[in-house]
Structure 1
């Protein structure tokens, strides 16, 4: 009796995006969008919980607000550690560990007996969320380069950018039907489901032959290689300045909207989600503009526009909700617009150390966010004045970096298909 044909084995390694079937491409976009959402899931849904967590632990709301700094420190540490590790040990297993770690830390927050334990678990949420973010970007670079990478990132961010929109809404709604612990329960279960799904579908994208030595020297060599590239360093600083501004925003809006403008928890969550819609449009706009103009020159446009928005925040400080809202919409739109260009340009010449390069991009960004987020938490947030000073300063710094390090006139055109080949 003839044997039935064997079912072909699933590929154990893929190294280019052309190896993904349309179905697998859709699955990868979903997995990567959610993996890049773990950092927003560690922050945005929990902004409306600050007053409730403060009451639970008997602490001032400002102290709970500072837990964002704990998350950002965790993000910075996670990105320091994971980049060289994923270049040495591959993408799949470290990604699954990161997802499981995020899920576990988030679920354990519900039973934190003290604020110190709560803060440590929030740190772990940031650490594991950052690891998933770094590995996700490295996977994209493993499979794509140049404009193909930017277009893949645009597809991923089409879904990922919904996380800061839906997060505050879901968080506020959960607070309306139960205690603040429910917010952590739901997003912990999301992380767990993502882990299980990834175990089934995620395929390794870094062949063993392309991995770096697992020795400390071998792993650190990846950092040394990318830090010798002035364009990469400039893009790293550019990205750090933008994210520092976003964390200034995150530290400003809870006080500005709820105390100065008198919004309740549900209304606050709604307005934060409206602001995040601008981020979503920014990501999509960045991908569209990159098809028509050189991505590196668009960074100059975004920096100049950020300087203008920061100046308007300063000159209109003390105005009402509508004025502040329009300026925050502009800030988030500009940040999103640069969101796909920065990693695409930065990782363009660093395919063999994509994990380390992605790690440095995130580490510098969230390191700056931790520092300036802590500064912002201690500043008066009753108006947009201090936020405007921060944004204008970061934008001016970005302009200096463009002309001294990035030097867009010397960079290749990502729209050139010959340049986009790996």
Structure 2
């Protein structure tokens, strides 16, 4: 009779239970919940602490910095120590830091608490994704990650609306108490739903030397770097959209906050549907082809936005059409690029997820303020960022992550699973 633990059998079988997928979706919702719920409260936070709007904005920047660093550290640490207990530790840290945000006596304390909140959230997010990479392979990996992104796309739809309702009924601190309650629920899910997906025999010995070796290994893989560029460059346009869409649609086109929220939700819905379509196409259509379609859509959206900004005064229909197309493209590019990056370095799922997360969230922290440098009365910077992001993503796919082909021969995939997804 076999005595193999259930979690090891699951990893061998390559199956991902629905409850586990739901838990990972919950874990990945921490970023939109902790940002979009909080953003409507910026004016009240500034008023209560008697500080400038830019100081309050820094609490968003420190959160993004924490997210990136948490993923960089959490992924390799889980490669060494396993997934389940480090995941629980990350959710606990995030919850405690969120309580600190709710009790913050000053803006400086809030910045530190937000950094720790992001660190714990990024730590938990990258380990949750590594669990999926442990258990799923080939087309199933692409399918599950797209389901995670697709269903998780509901979070940015409801987060600003939920934050506005909380702010209207109570105060901004209640937003963080609500997030803390969700953190407790995440901790319980990590304890009782997530299995240990990395058996001791597959763990690394640990230490800085092993971490450095793993980092060098994944970064030495040209195609891995290419797919990271594919996904991270798409993030450039995504966070420029988050930073500037309110100004373009409200200030320049006169939409009310309610109408803007509806448009924002519709765009997020387009991204969700595109990600779910990608999940259905996994194993049927080469994933590189799906990404290429998304990149073409993103580039066309950027060109349309630039033309509208330069010659037509950015009319509402042009702006709305460009933004919707951009978000649909995100659903086709982001998760597929991340899945192909993970498939390139299957021996280091935690480290690869950490590198991808660090690059993406660092990009988010840098692009958001840059996108607003042009002011609130022009869409030209936003359009330029959309085009640059699409071109960089195309460069990553077609040049850096190009298949290795010996002279005079057709590409020979490393295995059948890689052939199906790549």
The two structures share one fold, judged by TM-score above 0.5: yes
What are the within-5 Å matches in structure 2 for residues 129-144 of structure 1?
A: 129-144=121-136
User: What is the rounded CA distance, in whole Å, between the counterparts of 2:275 and 2:134 in structure 1?
Assistant: 21
Do 2:271 and 2:327's aligned partners in 1 also have CA atoms closer than 8 Å?
yes
Unpaired runs of at least 5, structure 2: 406-410
Moved more, 36-45 or 83-92: 36-45
Deviation at 1:141, TM superposition (A): 1.0
Specify whether residues 198 and 185 from structure 1 end up closer, same or farther in structure 2 by C-alpha distance, changes over 3 A only. Answer: same
Deviation at 1:199, TM superposition (A): 0.9
Q: What are the Cα deviations for residues 20-48 of structure 1, in whole angstroms up to 9, with x where unaligned?
A: 6xxx8121011111111112222222222
What are the within-5 Å matches in structure 2 for residues 11-30 of structure 1?
A: 11=6, 13-16=8-11, 18=13, 25-30=17-22
Who is 2:47 aligned against? Answer: 55
Q: What are the Cα deviations for residues 293-352 of structure 1, in whole angstroms up to 9, with x where unaligned?
A: 211122222222212111111121243444322221111111111233112211113222
Do 1:47 and 1:254's aligned partners in 2 also have CA atoms closer than 8 Å?
no
Q: 2:156 aligns with which of 164, 170, 176?
A: 164
Specify whether residues 80 and 286 from structure 1 end up closer, same or farther in structure 2 by C-alpha distance, changes over 3 A only. Answer: same
Who is 1:68 aligned against? Answer: 60
Deviation at 1:142, TM superposition (A): 0.4
Do 1:106 and 1:125's aligned partners in 2 also have CA atoms closer than 8 Å?
yes
Deviation at 1:163, TM superposition (A): 1.0
Matched, 1:392 2:387: yes
Deviation at 1:404, TM superposition (A): 1.9
Matched, 1:330 2:330: no
Do 2:233 and 2:393's aligned partners in 1 also have CA atoms closer than 8 Å?
yes
Who is 1:196 aligned against? Answer: 188
**Aligned pairs, number:** 411
What are the within-5 Å matches in structure 2 for residues 345-384 of structure 1?
A: 345-384=340-379
Do 1:15 and 1:206's aligned partners in 2 also have CA atoms closer than 8 Å?
no
Deviation at 1:157, TM superposition (A): 2.7
Do 2:303 and 2:383's aligned partners in 1 also have CA atoms closer than 8 Å?
yes
Specify whether residues 263 and 68 from structure 1 end up closer, same or farther in structure 2 by C-alpha distance, changes over 3 A only. Answer: farther
User: What is the rounded CA distance, in whole Å, between the counterparts of 1:237 and 1:282 in structure 2?
Assistant: 20
Moved more, 351-360 or 368-377: 368-377
User: What is the rounded CA distance, in whole Å, between the counterparts of 2:325 and 2:116 in structure 1?
Assistant: 32
Matched, 1:84 2:76: yes
User: What is the rounded CA distance, in whole Å, between the counterparts of 1:278 and 1:144 in structure 2?
Assistant: 26
Q: TM-score scaled to structure 2, two decimals?
A: 0.89
Q: What are the Cα deviations for residues 40-72 of structure 1, in whole angstroms up to 9, with x where unaligned?
A: 222222222222223223344444334332222
Report SS of the residue matched to 1:16: helix
Do 1:314 and 1:389's aligned partners in 2 also have CA atoms closer than 8 Å?
yes
Who is 1:250 aligned against? Answer: 242
Deviation at 1:180, TM superposition (A): 1.6
Who is 1:319 aligned against? Answer: 314
Who is 1:207 aligned against? Answer: 199
Do 2:140 and 2:282's aligned partners in 1 also have CA atoms closer than 8 Å?
no
User: What is the rounded CA distance, in whole Å, between the counterparts of 1:175 and 1:265 in structure 2?
Assistant: 15
Moved more, 147-156 or 257-266: 257-266
Specify whether residues 126 and 261 from structure 1 end up closer, same or farther in structure 2 by C-alpha distance, changes over 3 A only. Answer: farther
User: What is the rounded CA distance, in whole Å, between the counterparts of 1:247 and 1:126 in structure 2?
Assistant: 17
User: What is the rounded CA distance, in whole Å, between the counterparts of 1:258 and 1:61 in structure 2?
Assistant: 19
Moved more, 153-162 or 93-102: 153-162
Who is 2:293 aligned against? Answer: 301
Moved more, 306-315 or 287-296: 287-296
Unpaired runs of at least 5, structure 1: 1-7
Structure 1: 4+ residue segments shifted above 6 A: 411-415
Report SS of the residue matched to 2:147: helix
Q: 2:95 aligns with which of 82, 103, 109?
A: 103
Who is 1:128 aligned against? Answer: 120
Specify whether residues 269 and 186 from structure 1 end up closer, same or farther in structure 2 by C-alpha distance, changes over 3 A only. Answer: farther
Who is 1:230 aligned against? Answer: 222
Who is 2:334 aligned against? Answer: 339
Who is 2:408 aligned against? Answer: none
User: What is the rounded CA distance, in whole Å, between the counterparts of 1:36 and 1:351 in structure 2?
Assistant: 21
Moved more, 256-265 or 202-211: 256-265
Moved more, 368-377 or 275-284: 368-377
Who is 1:4 aligned against? Answer: none
